[in-house]
Structure 1
Amino acid sequence: MNTDTITCHNVYNYGASLQAYALQHYLESLGHDVKIIDFQPWFHRDRYKPFFISPGGRLYSICKACPPLKYILVPLKYRSRLISMVKTWGRKKTFDDFTKQYLSLTCRYNTSEELKANPPHADVYIAGSDQIWNTESYNGKEPGYYLDFGTAKKISYAASFAVSEIQEEWRPFVKSQLSHFQHISVREKTGVSILKSMGFQNGVQVVDPVFLLGADEWKTLAHKAKDYGLKENNYIVVYDFLNDERIAAFVKKLKEHTNMTVVSINDFNILPYVDININDAGPLEFVSLISKAAAVVCSSFHASAFSLIFKKPFYVFPLIGQNNSSRMEDLLNLIGHHERFMPDEILDDMDYDAIQFVLDKEIGKSKDVLQSFIKS
């Protein structure tokens, strides 16, 4: 069966790349011929363009009226961003290499209009996973992520709204877009509630695609990662996007408690409170570093997910200024460990026998849901 998925697969984000790979790989294991629709709207394409300016605002208007000015004004306004971009250019290459080697893509589509005009040929389209329906970002306002094209069967797997409720102004758009789906599954419990509030009573909660592959499968893949010479189970991984003071304070306590090296997997920012900043990690390195860590502190859903997969103690903090923590809280509530969310103190070890029992049940259910959606 020809099965095409659509997701945020090439945005230089660890979780995005890895969940795209996981769903592709799992479907291939079932005998499907799988392609990821290479949908790259402007807000994904411009991440590593040094003179990119987000639409809207005075600077955008000035540079649109006189384009050469951006080569003067952008360095003045975004100097730190440009410096960080240069420092992490090696990171970009590792992502590009991962995409080229592990993701099977269709031809490129730059707009939803292009998808409608020349849709990819498939028996089934699958929307998901990750934050493709987050209306507080550009993703959730883009018709292409709601499969607004083609005539194939349309289902979703573990799509995420990322928030606990959709702003009223976007509800009619989302409801209209979802009305042509044959089956809908979402990643969060809050997503099921959102669906019900819009009249979709048959929405199902399933696990993120990264859980569809086992720890051994991930370790086999991560075996090809760069080796940073760190002693296994003797370091703490930090994944902190924003140099968060709350995380810094907690990590200081954890370091004093464990006397372990603190290692940061960086995006653009260098963290001053860690011992080692890693600026060139790609998706494989992300998996490998977590798999060999003693503990993880993060503000990331997928860092939390891989901590669970590899049975690592972990602590989660919400991103400052963003309303998307429901996905992390739902995951912690699922395993019965909400105390790991914004902790004040070092906590006892996690009962991974009990956690694995819950996860195995949810993973089995999710696999059944996905296969039944495709067949029915």
Structure 2
Amino acid sequence: MKKIGIITLNGYFNYGNRLQNFALQEILKSMNYEVETVRVEEESLKKLGKENILRSVKRIIKMLFFQRIREDKKYKNIRTERFMEFSRKYINESDYFICEGKVPEKRMLDFDYFVTGSDQVWNPLYNSQSSIYFLNFVPDYKRISYAASFGISDLPIECIPNYKKWLSELAHISVREEAGADIIKELTGRKAEVVLDPTLLLSKEQWLSISKESLDKPNQKYLLTYFLGEVSQENEIKIENIAAEKNLKIVQLANIKDKGAYIADPSEFIDYIYSAELFLTDSFHGSVFSILLEKPFVIFDREGSKKSMMSRINTLLSTFDLVNRKWENIDNTDDIYNVDYKHVKPILDLERKKSLLFIESSLGLDK
């Protein structure tokens, strides 16, 4: 059996990251490949100059400022361990790490192809500007990107020479949002396919098959939130008013103050959304699972982030004709709960075919 390696971000703290990794693995397995996610040793990626280190520190400080989350170490550790348990159960990860200048060549010969993506593997703030995420450690013909994301609309000037070279050398290239395709066109002249995030390639039934109910999930009806950015006081009041109108308990997945929800693992994340009366989020994957599970949801702009961070969400909503789910497009409270999903299935079926065709073509299966 031929073998494919996945290169993606390996953090054990983000629901979308773990679930997209699982989804891509399952799709490739369904095409009769053995699949392994090769872990990248992030600490050793720091082949960074002082400017990059300073920028990373500033990003962390900024993130902490906007989120204002003082995480209790005990609960943070519990959450991380539960994410790792999910990965051990559902994702075939390598028992070794690779990094710049430390790639075991003999092991790499076991792989017929490598796929980088999805997630923000090309965001210079997350990938330490490493060529690993552009697969330069294997021959060109083995390099495929699937739904890779830059996460930003404009690259720092110092990234451009390397990114231009690395992107040019990928055999097959696809991205998750239109802004990413624009960057590639500008840098290389290549037209990158815009494909679905891998989480959208699995069916509702497939996701529910790995979901599970949290012991901390409330018995009463609830409004679920999942905000990766700061929640302003104005938005807090809006959320409280929406919950009060329908007598809903508020459950906050990303808030350390709501400890039971905060430690939910990715399987419980799916069930929390599926069981909610309403889901409010600023998250791309939160939006994805709302659509897949056909739940009422509303998207808020992420506080403290550049508009470019919304590119992937805007692409998602435009693709499925759901731009009315943005908070600024909600006219009254009835609109919050009235989501028409009838038109979504034909669009999803078509986009899945296009995305799967890209993968099959990249692997030579269309021949």
Equivalent in 297, 302, 309 of residue 314 of structure 1: 297
Name the CA distance, whole Å, in 2 between partners of 1:119 and 1:258.
57
Displacement, 1:365?
1.1
Q: Report if the CA contact (8 A) 1:12-1:95 is conserved.
A: yes
Counterpart position of 1:294: 277
SS in 2 for 1:352: coil
Counterpart position of 1:72: none
Counterpart position of 1:160: 149
Name the CA distance, whole Å, in 2 between partners of 1:153 and 1:281.
37
Displacement, 1:242?
4.1
Equivalent in 282, 293, 318 of residue 333 of structure 1: 318
SS in 1 for 2:363: helix
SS in 2 for 1:318: coil
1:236-315 to 2 correspondence within 5 Å?
236-245=223-232, 246-266=234-254, 269-270=256-257, 278-315=261-298
Aligned length: 341
SS in 1 for 2:264: coil
Deviation string 1:117-139 (CA, Å, 9 cap, x unpaired) is: 6662310110100000112x131
Q: Report if the CA contact (8 A) 1:90-1:280 is conserved.
A: yes
Which one-letter code corresponds to 1:325 in the other structure? M
Name the CA distance, whole Å, in 2 between partners of 1:290 and 1:220.
14
Q: Which runs of 5+ in 1 are unaligned?
A: 46-53, 61-79
Counterpart position of 1:359: 348
Name the CA distance, whole Å, in 1 between partners of 2:162 and 2:235.
37
Asked if residue 191 in structure 1 is aligned to residue 142 in structure 2, the reply is no
Name the CA distance, whole Å, in 1 between partners of 2:350 and 2:318.
15
Name the CA distance, whole Å, in 2 between partners of 1:303 and 1:356.
18
Name the CA distance, whole Å, in 2 between partners of 1:305 and 1:194.
23
- Give the aligned CA root-mean-square deviation in angstroms: 2.8
Displacement, 1:154?
0.6
CA spacing shift, 1:175–1:368, aligned 2, 3 Å: same
Q: Which runs of 5+ in 2 are unaligned?
A: 47-51, 59-67
Name the CA distance, whole Å, in 2 between partners of 1:166 and 1:229.
41
Q: Report if the CA contact (8 A) 1:192-1:204 is conserved.
A: yes
Deviation string 1:238-276 (CA, Å, 9 cap, x unpaired) is: 012344115423312321332211111126x326xxxx8
1:212-231 to 2 correspondence within 5 Å?
212-223=201-212, 225-231=213-219
Deviation string 1:335-370 (CA, Å, 9 cap, x unpaired) is: 222232343653351210112222221112111111
Q: Report if the CA contact (8 A) 1:43-1:138 is conserved.
A: no
Output the TM-score relative to the length of structure 2: 0.85
SS in 2 for 1:198: helix
Bigger shift: residues 304-313 or 5-14: 5-14
Name the CA distance, whole Å, in 2 between partners of 1:330 and 1:159.
14
SS in 1 for 2:83: helix
Name the CA distance, whole Å, in 2 between partners of 1:119 and 1:142.
20
Name the CA distance, whole Å, in 2 between partners of 1:195 and 1:84.
41
Name the CA distance, whole Å, in 2 between partners of 1:89 and 1:96.
11
CA spacing shift, 1:5–1:197, aligned 2, 3 Å: same
Which one-letter code corresponds to 2:119 in the other structure? D
Displacement, 1:28?
0.9
Name the CA distance, whole Å, in 2 between partners of 1:110 and 1:27.
22
CA spacing shift, 1:149–1:247, aligned 2, 3 Å: farther
CA spacing shift, 1:352–1:83, aligned 2, 3 Å: closer
Deviation string 1:68-87 (CA, Å, 9 cap, x unpaired) is: xxxxxxxxxxxx97752323
Output the TM-score relative to the length of structure 1: 0.83
Counterpart position of 2:49: none
SS in 1 for 2:94: strand
Counterpart position of 2:34: 33
Bigger shift: residues 123-132 or 140-149: 140-149
Name the CA distance, whole Å, in 2 between partners of 1:174 and 1:306.
31
CA spacing shift, 1:83–1:183, aligned 2, 3 Å: closer
SS in 2 for 1:25: helix
Deviation string 1:82-120 (CA, Å, 9 cap, x unpaired) is: 752323322112111011111111232252221276662
